[in-house]
Amino acid sequence: MTIIAIDFETATSRRDSACAIGLAWIEAGEVTRREYRLIRPRELRFDPGNVRVHSITERDVRDQPTFPAVFREFVGAIDGALVLAHNASFDLSVLNACLQSYGLPRPALETSCTLALARRIWPAEPNHKLSSLANRFGLRFQHHHAGEDAYACAHIALEAVRAAKARDVHALARRYELVKSHAALPGLVQDGIAARALAALNTVLTPQPADASLFVVRGSRGTPYEIRLRMKPGRAAELLCSCVGARFRVECRHVKQLKAGNLADLLSDNRKDARKIAALFAA
């Protein structure tokens, strides 16, 4: 199985604003390949806080390829691979948000978090930050450079394998039940209503931890329910609710309220996004 450590840097707080990607391949117990690419985000804007972290600016990426062109280079390797990241929830959310933003299909892959793995292997460490662990193992690297961070992540995984006397990274991650499988997802047909929905998501929605199109609403008895925007190839956009009533009718009360712009029962902190969704369906 191909094992690749990955790291992203973003231009803003939006998960779909990737401005750099780093990858490091692990084979036969060592890092055998490293790649680093700058990415021009869809919106050429950088938050000062992000720049302070990674030092990448608008000038650096103005003439760089966009995410689809960069991802095309590596999708063949990522498809079916075990993808590692240190604090994987962040890097995987960036990957998913960028794929969704451009309507690209997601390859099937497995993921594992070296931060979670390090906490299991070295519980006595004062902290398990990438920089702290790299320092423990005498690894010199430039922190918050995506290529260097991916390289450090790969080395930490290999140190964990040696410490646990495991066969390889995949076997070790499975031992601690730290492997997640992700099925392939199709891309989006960007025409008609689906195109307008995608455009709205790309430009106005505030990214949530896992899904920018997630809304949480309060039911009549106070029970929280999730409403998600779903777009399928060749179909109009639709809102799906997790409530029981949605199983028996085309649109439940919560979906109707959201489409109508009635936000009285909205619990999630994305009212601006909800209003944009209402405007989308009113169009």
Task: Say yes or no: 248 and 166 in one domain.
Answer: no
Structural domain includes residue 128? yes
Range of the domain at 56: 3-182
Q: Reply yes or no on whether the pLDDT at 191 is more than 60.
A: no
Same domain, 196 and 169: no
Together in a domain, 259 and 172: no
> Are 210 and 260 in the same domain?
yes
What is the phi-psi region of residue 75: left when phi exceeds 0, alpha when psi lies from -120 to 50, beta otherwise?
A: alpha
For residue 228, tell me if it sits in a domain: yes
Could you tell me if residue 187 is inside a domain? no
pLDDT given for residue 60 in this prediction:
97
Token digits of residue 47: 């938050």
- Same domain membership, residue 127 and residue 39: yes
The CB-side HSE value for 129 (13 A sphere, CA atoms) comes to: 7
- 111-170 pLDDT, tens digit each: 999 999 999 999 999 999 999 999 999 998 899 999 999 999 999 999 999 999 999 999
Same domain, 154 and 234: no
Tell me the residue length of the chain. Answer: 283
Residue 249, in any domain of the structure = yes
Residue 169's pLDDT is 97
Please tell me whether residues 33 and 75 are part of one structural domain.
yes
Q: Is residue 93 part of a domain?
A: yes
CB atoms within 10 A of CB 187: 13
CB of 25 closer than 8 Å to CB of 31: yes
Q: Report, as an integer, the average pLDDT of 8-31.
A: 96
Tell me the percentage of the chain whose pLDDT exceeds 90.
63
In a shared domain, residues 173 and 199: no
| Same domain as 28, residue 137 | yes
Q: Residue 145's CB: how many other CB atoms inside 10 A?
A: 19
Among 142, 163, 182, the domain boundary falls at 182
Rounded distance, CA 219 to CA 176, Å? 38
Residue 88's pLDDT band (cuts 50, 70, 90): very high
- Mark which of 158, 182, 206 sits at the end of a domain: 182
What are residue 266's DSSP bridge partners?
Answer: 217
The mean pLDDT value for 6-14 works out to 95
Distance CA 87, CA 50 (A): 17
Last residue of a domain, one of 162, 182, 202: 182
- Residues 30-65: pLDDT tens digits? 999 999 999 999 889 999 999 999 999 999 999 999
pLDDT-wise least confident of 144-148, 163-167, 194-198, 228-232: 194-198
**Structural domain count of the chain:** 2
Domain at 55, CATH number? 3.30.420.10
User: Range with the lowest mean pLDDT among 17-26, 63-72, 134-143, 205-214?
Assistant: 205-214
- pLDDT at position 238: 82
- Is the pLDDT reported for residue 213 higher than 80? no
Q: Is residue 213 part of a domain?
A: yes
**Is the domain of 167 the same as that of 205?**
no
C-beta of residue 54 within 8 angstroms of C-beta of residue 8: no
239/164 same-domain check: no
Any domain includes 135 = yes
Mean pLDDT of the 164-179 span: 97
Mean predicted lDDT score pLDDT of the chain: 87
Residue 278 has pLDDT above 80, yes or no: yes
Same domain for 164 and 40: yes
Distance of alpha carbon 148 from the chain centroid: 19
pLDDT for residue 93: 93
Q: pLDDT tier at 9 (50, 70, 90 boundaries)?
A: very high
pLDDT of residue 210: 36
Rounded to whole angstroms, the Cα distance separating 91 from 97 reads 10
In-domain check, residue 54: yes
Local structure of 8: helix, strand or coil:
strand
Starting at the edge strand found earlier in the chain, the sheet holding 224-230 runs 214-218, 224-230, 238-241
